[in-house]
Structure 1
Amino acid sequence: MVVTIDWKPDKNTAVPLYVQIKEFIQSKIENGEWTVGTRIPSQRKLAEVFEVNRSTIVLAFDELMADGLLEGHSGKGTRVKNNVWSLLSSNEHAADWNSMINKGMQQPNLPTIQDIHQAEPRPDLIRLGTGEPSPELFPQEMMKDILHRLPSKIQSLGYVEEKGLLPLREQISIYLRSFGITASPSSILIVSGALQALQLVSIGLLKRGSAILLESPSYLHSLNLFQSAGVSLRGLPVHAAGFDLSSIKHSKKRNAASLLYTNPTFHNPTGYVMSLNDRKQLLNVCESEQLPIIEDDVYCELWLDAPPPPPIKALDQNGTVLYVGSLSKALSPGLRIGWVVGPEPVINRLADIKMQTDYGASSLSQWAAEEWLSSGRYHVHLEQMRAALRTRRDVAIKVLEEKFTGLAEWQKPAGGFYIWLRLPAGISLRELFDRALKEGILLNPGHLYDPKAIQHLRISYAYASLEQLVKGLERLAELIKNVMNNERVNKT
């Protein structure tokens, strides 16, 4: 278990810094927040977090070890050895929470993902990888108007229908027609964001030992939803011609796949768009192999140059595709409103599981989402959002052309949030990540989306302000050059 620290010593008091740090750590142990066995961050890390010299941390650790609260092991770091109450008690063993944590079914996030989540709240950071719209893009005035309208509609904020608020499902049904998807409200399930849709699929439709085919790289690799359910991920490379269809047939014939996951429109993290012909071929192959498809289409509305091809679901006449959409990317991730469209028996199954886990998405959020769609404000917002993202995309590309030519490779995305940046061979992404973080720049390394993508960064132009975007990219180019120079020196 890795701890999170949101405290700093007060440098304006007469109490020595090492004493403040010792008392802080001791209070965490005394209160049971840091239990026996908890790993304490390294001295170097704590010195950075507390903004003190490392010698100050050494003094605090020495006293805590002398008191019997901490112990250090070579190569294993420093851990909580006892708490105050266990030292005073004849009972030698406190509850072993850390053992239970390690045995839990849900696997922890990748270490780099944990580092990113811990760093994101820092207000000084330039977040060059964050996959959500900037606070600057939040439609505050329209949202205020939407919320003012709700009291006349809402009679209660109790639990809603099993599949979600019916008026919202009716509006989504209407909205999906603009993409060529015909779906009655009974074949739509409201979920708390697209992420929950994937979680419901992992525990509701697949058994342990199943396998999912997916693009490589893929957003799914940055999650542990399916792996925690005992489901393996099998990446298939995606190139200009789309999926390798022969690999799909081969995997299915070996009973090595239970379904196929695809993010065909403004793919996360590469920005790739599957052509209409490739979508048709993929659907035909999956139908012939009886291989269900999960189509993650959360970015489809965010086209910047021209509308993308219709969703695979729009071509589906046999119920092969489970279609996942969301308001998180275009409107607000905090609303936690997404949807799954599919055959009614599947939707009924997922709805039953959702009721067992959270008894439905927020009623207030569902009413707000219904008002956004029924009032037409969502269409207005989308036009504004596309214009803002187009400007950000173009600014990012301009900086890349000026500062990264000859240093990295990329493709100009036609929509979505991301640029898939390929760096020179041999560069250490871990060193680059750490150096950038020290300078206030937060990156998303490519290995989060494919263990083999050790030369890539996912650059997002959606979150940072325009000023931060330019400053962050320019500084990133300098950091890449510095890391490359250091590696050359180390080799000589």
Structure 2
Amino acid sequence: MRQRPLNVATPDLSWQAVALGAARDTSESMQDLLALPSPRSMPLSMGYLPPDLQATELLSTALKQVAKQPALWDRLPLEGMEPLRSWFAREIGQGNIFTPHEVIICPGGQAAIASTLRALLAPGSTLLVEAPTYIGVISAARAAGITLVPVPTDGDGVRPDLLEATLRETGARVFYCQPTFANPSGTLLSQKRRNDVLGVISDARAFLIEDDWARDLYLGTPPPAPLAAQDSDGHVIYIRSLAKSAAPGLRIAAIMARGAALARLRATRGGEDFFVSGPLQAAALNIVTSSGWKRHLNNARNALTERRDTLMAALRSELGHDIRINSPQGGMHLWVQLEDHVSDVAIASDLARQGVLVSPGKVWFPADPPGSYLRLTFAAAPSILREGARIIATTLKQKSGPQSG
């Protein structure tokens, strides 16, 4: 037997490369987004409410109250606490399309997405996604060995004609989308297209995974009802999270499904982490049923509206009207289109060296992007947004101009 030498200053870990084998397809871009920013940086790349907009007081009060209930530390149903499942089911509206027994509580939206992909898709099968799409679903699909095929979008969301053609050509039976304030583009799927997309999915006898991440974060008129509210035959798998609208640490989300898909999801979740922490579920229920929840959401929406307008005005002031920016009616991100010869990856790297953190558009496409983009989060304090816009504008002016070579 080989003896391990004592007092070796540098351990030999080279054996691990052989034992682990070939690396899996993982997303470094996802890890970059999750990395905690330096206190001195200007984060315009985060995907959560900043501390000053989080529901911290509600969370603190809720946790103090649930701490008095020792039974919450015992085993819970795999699907989650029934009162919390009932709340998620009621939030769909439109006649309560889901019952509480068709709801499964998960530890956050990303876990819900990953579980849903594993339940519905075998390794090597095909998942259709909007282009661009949420980087988290790209990461989860690749980690599960699932092939991603993009479906083009425009200002009204995914194009139903191209969705229909792609379903037919690929034979895919699952489509992931964010019809309400898509991340990163901020697009709201138009009402006509909502009906058309559901018709296409129904005709193809396919599933649609509806990730309703920003339903609480509308900036003005409330959005249309979820696609799930119009689906009577179990085509829509619905995902909704509280982490985006409350605080990143409230890792509570729900998957809603019907029929055999629900059974698959239960089986998948049962093999992962059994159930979500009881005190966290109880705290979540306490928060969303409290009198302060709507007040918190109203305050967050008002602040996000002001900050969206601040960042857009600052960019317009610095760059004029030549810059192409969406004006999202919800969520927390601007989608900025750059000149085609300007590398979004290079711009993001230059800005990071100057302390401004943005997300290059390339990482939000599962295949070759049609252009060069930046995703800018407008949730930060107005002073940070204005200074960040100044640095972004200066950097873009330096990189723009005639293409060399």
Tell me the TM-score normalized by structure 2: 0.91
Q: Which residue of 2 aligns with 1:142?
A: 58
* Structure with more contact order per residue of length (Cα contacts < 8 Å, sep ≥ 6): 2
1:434-486 CA-to-partner distances (Å, cap 9, x unmatched) read 22111111110000111315510001112x2221111111111101112236x
8 A contact 1:407–1:423 mirrored in 2: no
Match of 2:182 among 249, 261, 267: 267
Across the aligned residues of Structure 1 and Structure 2, the Cα RMSD in angstroms comes to 2.3
Q: Which residue of 1 aligns with 2:4?
A: none
Q: Which residue of 2 aligns with 1:345?
A: 260
Give unmatched runs, 5+ long, in structure 2.
Answer: 1-6
Match of 1:109 among 4, 27, 31: 27
AA aligned to 2:179 is P
The answer to whether the aligner puts 1:444 opposite 2:359 as a matched pair is: yes
1:263-306 CA-to-partner distances (Å, cap 9, x unmatched) read 01011001000112211111011111101110010101211110
Q: Tell me how far 1:217 sits from its aligned partner.
A: 0.6
Q: Tell me how far 1:390 sits from its aligned partner.
A: 1.1
Count of residues paired in the alignment:
397
Flag the 1:180–1:409 CA change in 2: closer, same or farther, 3 A. Answer: farther
Q: Residue 359 of structure 2: SS of its match in structure 1?
A: coil
Give unmatched runs, 5+ long, in structure 1.
Answer: 1-26, 37-94
1:389-443 CA-to-partner distances (Å, cap 9, x unmatched) read 1111111121122112245211211111111001122112232222211111111
Distance 2:113 2:55 in 1: 28
Match of 1:171 among 81, 87, 106: 87
8 A contact 2:152–2:158 mirrored in 1: yes
Q: Residue 26 of structure 2: SS of its match in structure 1?
A: coil
Q: Which residue of 2 aligns with 1:428?
A: 343
Distance 2:247 2:239 in 1: 16
8 A contact 1:260–1:292 mirrored in 2: yes
The answer to whether the aligner puts 1:124 opposite 2:43 as a matched pair is: no
Flag the 1:181–1:107 CA change in 2: closer, same or farther, 3 A. Answer: farther
Q: Tell me how far 1:362 sits from its aligned partner.
A: 2.1
Flag the 1:373–1:359 CA change in 2: closer, same or farther, 3 A. Answer: same
Distance 1:190 1:372 in 2: 16
- Identity between Structure 1 and Structure 2 (%): 26
Distance 1:269 1:283 in 2: 22
8 A contact 1:447–1:453 mirrored in 2: no
8 A contact 1:429–1:454 mirrored in 2: no
Tell me the TM-score normalized by structure 1: 0.76
8 A contact 2:115–2:269 mirrored in 1: yes
Flag the 1:479–1:142 CA change in 2: closer, same or farther, 3 A. Answer: same
Distance 1:327 1:357 in 2: 21
Q: Tell me how far 1:252 sits from its aligned partner.
A: 3.0
The answer to whether the aligner puts 1:385 opposite 2:304 as a matched pair is: no
Q: Residue 340 of structure 1: SS of its match in structure 2?
A: strand
Flag the 1:99–1:376 CA change in 2: closer, same or farther, 3 A. Answer: farther
8 A contact 2:240–2:254 mirrored in 1: yes
Bigger radius of gyration, 1 or 2? 1
1:241-265 CA-to-partner distances (Å, cap 9, x unmatched) read 5433233333333452121111010
1:44-193 matches, within 5 Å, as: 95=15, 97-101=16-20, 103-104=22-23, 106-110=24-28, 112-118=29-35, 120-177=36-93, 181-193=96-108
Q: Tell me how far 1:167 sits from its aligned partner.
A: 2.1
1:10-25 matches, within 5 Å, as: none
Q: Which residue of 2 aligns with 1:30?
A: 10
Q: Tell me how far 1:332 sits from its aligned partner.
A: 1.3
Q: Which residue of 1 aligns with 2:280?
A: 365
Distance 2:209 2:232 in 1: 15
Flag the 1:115–1:371 CA change in 2: closer, same or farther, 3 A. Answer: closer
Q: Which residue of 1 aligns with 2:218?
A: 303
Distance 2:143 2:300 in 1: 36
